[in-house]
Chain A
């Protein structure tokens, strides 16, 4: 089960079925690290899940906010795209209107922009993790 991930040896890439590839990619987009867990990459899945989730939580702790696409401001589409990379957590926040609205006292905090960066980068890293899960699934990478 823990195969070469923990042994320190390089693993041999083995492709999985198309259905499992699609399932892994969708799982990775739903929750950080889940795609790797589906593919049996336990250590990598947990590390990715913990790191990206921590980044998302720290983003909120630093008073950052999530973006929602607005017609009048095209830049919000780019930041929303990055935020959406988090998958389910972003969709839940969007549906419940958590962390979307910005209060003036929140924007005045010194860590406000850091928080926004943490939230955007967490989403971008999860997209990278999804592509990594795809590479593992098709056998391009161990």
Chain B
């Protein structure tokens, strides 16, 4: 397993759990949208942080 696939797997599982446990999203459609948004944020910020940290020597 690569770093990227581990991050995507983590993002997927946590976003599904967050969507299922969300208090602000009551209908199934709202939960699915919220889960997709959380997943996109996780992966997006993961890639952004990887890009920022890549040139660092430590």
Contact surface of A with B, Cβ cutoff 8 Å = 5-11, 44, 47-48, 51-52, 54-55, 58, 62, 110-111, 114, 117-118, 121, 125, 128-129, 132, 135, 141-142
Could you tell me the distance between the alpha carbons of A7 and B13 in the complex, rounded to whole angstroms?
23
Cβ–Cβ contact B17 & A9, under 8 A: no
- Secondary structure dominating the interface of A: helix
Closest to A128 in B: B21
Known: A8-B28, A10-B26, A44-B20. A125 touches B14 (CB 8 A): yes
Interchain CB contact under 8 A, A58 and B21: no
B interface size (C-beta, 8 A)? 16
Which residues of B are at the interface with A, using a C-beta cutoff of 8 A?
A: 1, 3, 6, 9-10, 13-14, 16-17, 20-21, 23, 26-29
Given A6-B28, A110-B3, A58-B9 contact (CB < 8 Å): yes
Pairwise interchain contact A114-B28, C-beta atoms closer than 8 A:
no
Q: Across the interface, do B6 and A114 meet the contact criterion of CB distance under 8 Å? A: yes
B17 touches A111 (CB 8 A): no
Q: Which residue of A lies closest to B14 (CB)?
A: A121
| Contact (A135, B6) CB under 8 Å given A47-B16, A48-B17, A125-B17 | no
With both beta carbons as reference points, the residue of chain B lying nearest to A52 in the complex is identified as: B17
